[in-house]
């Protein structure tokens, strides 16, 4: 199987490894009612298999609407592609009040946390081993993999990038969610923005 490049489709080794020297922040979302856009954003990284090799995907999601605000691919697990995705999301949609991540070293790195703190964004982090603390982005990964990645069998990062661009457009603008009374994430996001944010 190794010689032929055959492998099972299953979750790969953990990507969210903590860095012992990095500051960890408390989880701020417990019991919090989140019903409007830009109140809370969340992010995570997932493993993307390709016909030859693999890459990593980071996405930034608005919690209330489940809209994917930005995303990036990388063949390494440093913080830079996560910061790039964050900067793009902020440039397009403004700043959230709270930003939630896991305790992975990419998100506890000063490069990432400084980009949040310098804008007055409160930082929230999942409890150790508490995947349910970021459940909506975990559900996004399942959708991405089973509705696109596993079906397409992309051969290169360029193909993954092109395919995901089309998928996330579909996900945000055409794929309705039962929890939202058959509305799309984009409809919910722009429908729940505060008047101040719409005016800006």
Q: Where are the domains of the chain?
A: 40-199
**Sequential DSSP letters for 96-117:** -SEEEE-S-HHHHSHHHHHHHH
Q: For residues 138 and 188, give the distance between their C-alpha atoms in angstroms, rounded to a whole number.
A: 19
Per-residue pLDDT reduced to its tens digit, 159-192: 999 999 999 999 999 998 878 888 999 999 999 9
Which phi and psi (to 5°) does residue 144 adopt? -60, -45
Region 40-199: CATH code? 3.30.420.10
User: What is the spatial distance between Cα 127 and Cα 125, in angstroms, rounded to a whole number?
Assistant: 7
Name the band, by pLDDT with cuts 50, 70 and 90, for residue 18: low
* 8 Å CB contact between 125 and 107: yes
Bigger pLDDT: 92 or 134? 92
């Amino acid at each position: 199987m190794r010689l032929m490049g055959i492998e099972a489709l299953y979750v790969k080794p953990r990507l969210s490894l903590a860095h012992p020297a990095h500051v960890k922040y408390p989880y701020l979302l417990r019991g919090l009612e989140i019903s409007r856009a830009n109140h809370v954003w969340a992010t995570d990284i997932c493993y993307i298999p390709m016909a030859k090799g693999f890459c990593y995907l980071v996405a930034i999601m608005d919690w209330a609407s489940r809209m994917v605000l930005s995303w990036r691919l990388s063949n390494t697990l440093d913080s830079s592609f996560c910061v790039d995705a964050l900067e793009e999301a902020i440039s397009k949609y403004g700043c959230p009040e709270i930003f939630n991540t896991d305790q992975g070293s990419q998100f506890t790195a000063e490069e990432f946390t400084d980009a949040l703190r310098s804008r007055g964004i409160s930082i929230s982090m999942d409890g150790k081993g508490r995947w349910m603390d970021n459940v909506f982005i975990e559900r996004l990964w399942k959708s991405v993999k089973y509705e696109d990645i596993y079906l397409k069998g992309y051969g290169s990062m360029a193909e993954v990038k092109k395919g995901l661009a089309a998928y996330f457009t579909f996900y945000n603008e055409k794929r309705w969610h039962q929890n939202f009374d058959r509305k799309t994430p984009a409809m919910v996001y722009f429908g729940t923005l505060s008047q101040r944010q719409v005016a800006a």
